Amino acid sequence: MIRYANPTRFLGLASWLIPALAGLAALTLAVGLWMVFAVAPADYQQGETVRIMYIHVPAAWLAMGCYTLMALSAIGTLVWRHPLADVSQKAAAPLGAAFTALCLVTGSLWGKPMWGTWWVWDARLTSVLVLFLMYCGVMALWNAIEDPARAGRAVSILTLVGFINIPIVKFSVDWWNTLHQPASVIRLSGPTIDPSMLWPLLVMAVGASLLFIALHLMGMRNEILRRRVRTLGLLAAQREDTAAGLAEAGPTR
């Protein structure tokens, strides 16, 4: 971890890891989609609409996983001042927002035919909406402060405060009476979902996670380059100012 704290070393690692992970993600998702549409059966109660689960559930896991990653990165920023920690946070936020939005919309598209409504203000749906708003707030704060180091510290505090929402999302279906069904895969007593549906779900989740990691590394690489551009831009401006100052002072003996 410490070894790859050097951004240049990280860029070298990312240059071969990104295509490898992207290829693996594409392959895994292709196999997953084949299992979803050719192997997995329709549900005895929900019929074919259960196929929405294979996108909705991985998107929900990634929505929570991404925020957890951001919280860990926030600790890395505040405690260890790890040079890549705030880069990781900044790159993760738009991905988290995108997967949370996908989770919310696919949930609505699944809810309408099954529950008869697009939306209810129950604890699970509302806490996931709050998670989406947290991602938006984090992105807004990144853009509000120009200096990346100052922005990183401010965002870290906001991220850690917002992490309280993650256990609320996870356990909302147990703590409150919700229209949303309780957990059926990640449970202490093991999954209650049939293996014929569990395996396609797990393959899709692995594919989506590989895709997320590849996109996160791409985002981190872009952010490192953006910071280098910013630094060089400031140095170039400084050089021009110095040159202009010398020209104004005139020739010296």
Partner 1 sequence: MSGLGPHAAYILASYALAAIIVGGLVIHAVLDYRTQRAALQRLEASGTRRRSAGPVTGPQA
Helices (DSSP H) in 76-164: which residue ranges? 85-115, 123-144, 148-162
| Number of residues engaging partner 1 in binding (CB under 8 A) | 37
Among 98, 123, 166, 205, which residue sits at the site for partner 1 (rule: CB under 8 A)?
Answer: 98
Q: Measure the CA angle with vertex 17, ends 198 and 87; round to 5°.
A: 95
Burial of 234 per CB tally in 10 Å (0-12, 13-18, 19+): exposed
Q: Does 232 bind partner 1 (CB under 8 A)?
A: yes
Q: Does 42 bind partner 1 (CB under 8 A)?
A: yes
Choose among 217, 239, 219: nearest CA to 227: 219
Q: Does 241 bind partner 1 (CB under 8 A)?
A: no
Structure tokens at 82: 């790890």
Q: How far does CA 115 lie from the centroid of its chain?
A: 28
Q: Does 90 bind partner 1 (CB under 8 A)?
A: no
Q: Which range in 62-70, 123-131, 185-193, 230-238 contacts partner 1 by CB under 8 A? A: 230-238
Q: Does 41 bind partner 1 (CB under 8 A)?
A: no
Looking only at residues 157 through 176 of this chain, which bind partner 1 when binding is defined by CB under 8 A?
Answer: none
Q: Measured from the CB atom, is 47 or 167 closer to partner 1?
A: 47
Rounded Cα distance, 105 and 119, in Å: 10
Q: Which range in 40-48, 132-140, 173-181, 188-196 contacts partner 1 by CB under 8 A? A: 40-48
Q: Measured from the CB atom, is 50 or 202 closer to partner 1?
A: 50
Rounded to a whole number of angstroms, the minimum distance from the CB of residue 209 to partner 1 is 13
| Residue type for position 243 | A
Residue 84, classed as helix, strand or coil, is coil
Rounded Cα distance, 172 and 192, in Å: 18
Q: Does 144 bind partner 1 (CB under 8 A)?
A: no
Which residues face 43 on adjacent strands? 47
Q: Does 48 bind partner 1 (CB under 8 A)?
A: yes
Q: How far does CA 45 lie from the centroid of its chain?
A: 32
Q: Does 243 bind partner 1 (CB under 8 A)?
A: no
Residues that bind partner 1 (CB under 8 A): 42, 47-49, 51-52, 55-56, 59, 94-95, 98-99, 101-102, 105-106, 109-110, 112-113, 211, 215, 218-219, 221-222, 225-226, 228-229, 231-233, 235-236, 239
